Amino acid sequence: MKNSTYGCYRYFLVPFDQISMSQMLVHDRKALFESIINNNDTQIEDTNDNIKYKLYIIENIGNLYFFKFSKQTYTTTYKDTGNDIKENIIKNNPFVHIIINTELQIILIQKKTTVFKNYSLTINAFKKYINLFLLSHGYEITVDQLSDPKHFWQIIDTAENVYQVDLNLKSPNMFEGITNAEEFAKTLKEVSNSTENNINLKNDQGNLRLKKHFFKSFIEYIACGGGKWSAKAKFFGKKAKTYTSSNNLNQVELPSELNDNTIKENTNKIEKILSDINKKPGDTISNDKKDKRNDDTKKS
């Protein structure tokens, strides 16, 4: 059985305005989202590029949904009619597989560069598709990658110089926890109605020092699908370079073709993968005191 690589992402339905009548009518965001993805009679057209997208559901097992997400394209061929060469335009609908768990709010997206050159293009098309039906309810969908927070700290802890760190956190408090990052996002949402927030840290001399016990929950928040980060750093013998969370995407291997047989054979494997990557900020909060002690030891 041939496998494909799938990127791992988290989605949220986020209110983009102060409480409105349309939002008050939505009592269950999960049910709202499922009502959209369960509808095979919809398609959208990108008015800029005249591209049509369509989401087809092929299987539903509890909270687990399997889809084909297609992008309509046209191929021009030229046919010899015997006394002339005639142009022939063929409509094509290449697709990628998408797997969604609506309870965990996790999306697995197939990597297929013959359809979408990269994950970002797939995600942008998918968000555009979903938002077409969400916006009238006062919500929009955000989709951010799942990653490993260790990658960030490897850069911070081992770089010769760190010049800049930018953190982007989606609002509001989407994980319903009590870590520093979650309280920060919740507070800013309450006082500004922001849908995302940016923290910009800079030291022109490359002497940024991030205390892990304070920033740990912010990086975990991002790694769990709540935003993104970038860090400009310099390693010994190398030029300064900007590193980003987009280079640290969690990826898994699953069948290239999802049908009745392959879905049935791999359902348990997929559920195990989803359980393993379903991390939340604060899952490792018991280590916070240890990190603080380490920070204090380095300082002394």
Query: Could you tell me which residues are beta bridge partners of residue 253?
Result: 5
Domain ranges across the chain: 3-146+249-258, 150-247+280-299
For residues 245-257, give the mean pLDDT.
92
Burial of 171 (0-12, 13-18, 19+ CB in 10 A): buried
Residue 136 vs residue 25, higher pLDDT: 136
- Residue (of 195, 87, 110, 210) closest to 154 by Cα position: 210
**Whole-angstrom Cα distance, residue 79 to residue 66?**
38
Q: Above 50 in pLDDT, residue 287? A: no
Q: What is the DSSP letter of 263?
A: H
Residues 6+ apart with CB under 8 A from 176: 182
3-state helix, strand, coil in the chain (%, to 5): 35, 35, 30
Q: Per mean pLDDT, which range of 11-20, 76-85, 181-190 is the poorest?
A: 11-20
Model confidence at 299: pLDDT above 60: no
What confidence tens digit (pLDDT) does each residue in 42-91 have?
A: 666 665 567 888 888 999 999 999 999 998 888 888 988 888 898 888 88
Question: 75-113 burial, b for 16+ CB within 10 Å, e for fewer?
Answer: eeeeeeeeeeeeeeeeeeeebbbbbbbbebbbbbbbbbe
Please, what is the average pLDDT of the chain? 85
Residue 286, pLDDT score: 44
This prediction has a pTM of: 0.83
- Reported as a single tens digit per residue, the pLDDT across 113-168 is 999 999 999 999 999 889 988 888 888 899 999 999 999 999 999 999 999 999 99
Residue 216: per-residue pLDDT:
92
pLDDT the model gives residue 61:
94
- pLDDT at residue 157, rounded to an integer: 95
For residue 29, name the pLDDT band (cuts at 50, 70, 90): confident
| pLDDT at 21 > cutoff 50 | no
Neighbouring CB atoms inside 10 A of 198's CB total 10
Burial of 12 (0-12, 13-18, 19+ CB in 10 A): buried
For residue 292, is pLDDT > 50?
Answer: no
- The mean-pLDDT minimum among 18-22, 52-56, 70-74, 260-264 falls in 18-22
Q: State yes or no: pLDDT of 295 exceeds 90.
A: no
What is the model's pLDDT at position 59?
92
Tell me 19's DSSP state.
Answer: S
- Looking at residue 282, its pLDDT comes to 72
**Over 60: is that where the pLDDT of 251 sits?**
yes
Angle at 161 between CA 157 and CA 163, to 5 degrees: 110
- DSSP characters for 99-130? EEETTTTEEEEE--TTT-SSHHHHHHHHHHHH
Taking the CB of residue 136, how many other CB atoms lie within 10 A of it?
9
